Amino acid sequence: MFRTFGIPGSRRSRALAAPALLLALVLGATACDGDDTTSGKAAPGSGPSSSSAAGKVTVSPAAGRSVAPGTRVSVTAESGTLGKVTVTPKGRSSDGVDPVEVTGRLAADRRTWTSDRTMTPGTAYTVTVTATDTSGKQATTTSGFRTTAAGKVNGVTVTPLNNAVVGVGLPVSLAFDKPVADKAAVERSLSLTTTPAVKGSWGWLTDPLTGVQRVDWRPDAYWPSGTKVTLTALLSGIDTGGGRFLRRDIHDTFSIGTARVSYADLARHTMRVTENGRTVRNVKISGGSSAFPTWNGTMVVMAKQSTVRMTSSSVDIATSKDSADFYDEDVHNAVRITTSGTFVHAAPWNDRYMGRQNKSHGCIGLSDTDAKWFFDRAVRGDVVVSTGSTRAVVDKGNGYGEWNLSADQWHALSALA
């Protein structure tokens, strides 16, 4: 799921490619024209007002208009009251996307209705209004308009995917193909529900190596095991900046599994693996050497791969076979914990150093037996806490390094803070 899977203990990495099953949220650029469907006394395209036997109803945008996806739809009963109002798409969008139905709110006096979200670009919409006049007579008015297509688009990769069971450290993450200028508009479209209730916040990050920008929802503390999470992202039609639009909504559910947290002590050359607060195994390790130390701090399992080719040249450590730091290895049972290429993996070439000395290029090496055991248990979202290294704490955007911030520091990264 990554373009490059780092080197043993790499300090640098290649760009992070989109995960498998990524949700394609980009929008094609196409021309459009207005929809002129209207019923009532007003002529199509003649203005915003439509009349019915139950009294005059004003619909905006006017019939036949072509409007931006962020335009608000409003309906007003100039006499009497409004009943049901629907704003529904007619077929697919101009680039083949299934468009969203537009929701809205009816005022307490039932005289006005206003939409509360953006619309899918390049889509014909029909507004259907039921109104009742002061004598109790009811009638229906319809009107049509079209949203303009987007000249530029943005895409989103969501983690985790639907119905996944993940570890207690995995945030909800939306990574964008292009940087988002209007972060507040995006964040306002996001909502999260959990059972049981869990406190947390959205925060904005940029990976220091790949430049990928994302917005994550991180709990204040690790997720409780068994939590059910539902994400609703009403993204279709949002301008992320400079006329670059998102085109699809996201609805995602997942749950939290075993609380698996591993504690790697680089000074003592050991790692203690816990599940639901109970130690299940102590293993000997060999971490990054003094020249290539392992990151300190809290990291989260991003992915795992049974075999990964790791080369020193891919991270500019050594390109010549004559260098003492040159390597080109098929590494087995590799569990990735940073974008920059830190893994927990089998390192049989360092068996004599396990539990005694740090000799890797930054990864956490285990024996074949221990690495296979760890690999088989690991799931995305498990936590690895590294201490005792001479290296700095991993950056908050390097993988899911946000756990190295306090809850208050994390909340401050919200665009709505």
Place of tokens 């760890």: 374
**Active site amino acids:** 345, 363
CATH tag, 152-258: 2.60.40.3710
pLDDT confidence of residue 313: 58
pLDDT < 70 positions in the chain = 1-55, 312-316, 318-322, 324
Sequence-distant (≥ 6) Cβ neighbours of residue 146 within 8 angstroms: 32, 33, 34, 35, 65, 66, 67, 122, 123, 124, 125
pLDDT confidence of residue 147: 98
Q: What is the 3-state secondary structure (H, E, C) of 215-243?
A: EEEEECCCCCCCCEEEEEECCCCCECCCC
- Give the C-alpha distances (Å, rounded to integers) separating 73 from 62, 130, 135, 202, 367: 10, 15, 27, 28, 63
Give the pair of three-digit tokens for residue 347. Answer: 């390192």
Upper half-sphere CA count for residue 268 (Cβ side, 13 Å): 10
Could you tell me the residue ranges of all domains in the chain? 49-147, 152-258, 260-409
Measured CA to CA, the distance from residue 309 to residue 7 in angstroms comes to: 8
Q: pLDDT (tens digit, 9 = 90+) per residue, 353-403?
A: 999 999 999 999 999 999 999 999 999 999 999 999 999 999 999 999 999
> What values do phi and psi take at 408, rounded to 5?
-65, -40
Q: Is 207 exposed, middle or buried (0-12, 13-18, 19+ CB in 10 A)?
A: buried
Measured CA to CA, the distance from residue 364 to residue 8 in angstroms comes to: 8
Give the pair of three-digit tokens for residue 314. Answer: 């891919």
Give the bridge partners for 86, in sequence order: 128
* Equal CATH topology for 49-147 and 152-258: yes
Q: 260-409 architecture in CATH?
A: Beta Barrel (2.40)
pTM of the predicted protein model: 0.83
Beta-strand runs (E) in 78-163: 81-89, 104-106, 112-115, 124-132, 138-147, 152-153, 156-159
Q: Is 31 exposed, middle or buried (0-12, 13-18, 19+ CB in 10 A)?
A: exposed
For the chain, give the number of residues: 417
Measured CA to CA, the distance from residue 388 to residue 180 in angstroms comes to: 37
- Alpha carbon 275 to chain centroid, angstroms: 27
CB 171 within 8 A of CB 214: no
Measured CA to CA, the distance from residue 324 to residue 301 in angstroms comes to: 30
CATH tag, 49-147: 2.60.40.3780
Beta-strand runs (E) in 16-160: 49-52, 55-60, 66-67, 74-77, 81-89, 104-106, 112-115, 124-132, 138-147, 152-153, 156-159
Taking only Cα atoms into account, the Rg of the chain, rounded to an integer number of angstroms, comes to: 27
370 membership: H or E segment, kind and range? helix 368-377
Measured CA to CA, the distance from residue 174 to residue 188 in angstroms comes to: 14
Upper half-sphere CA count for residue 334 (Cβ side, 13 Å): 23
Give 289's DSSP letter: -
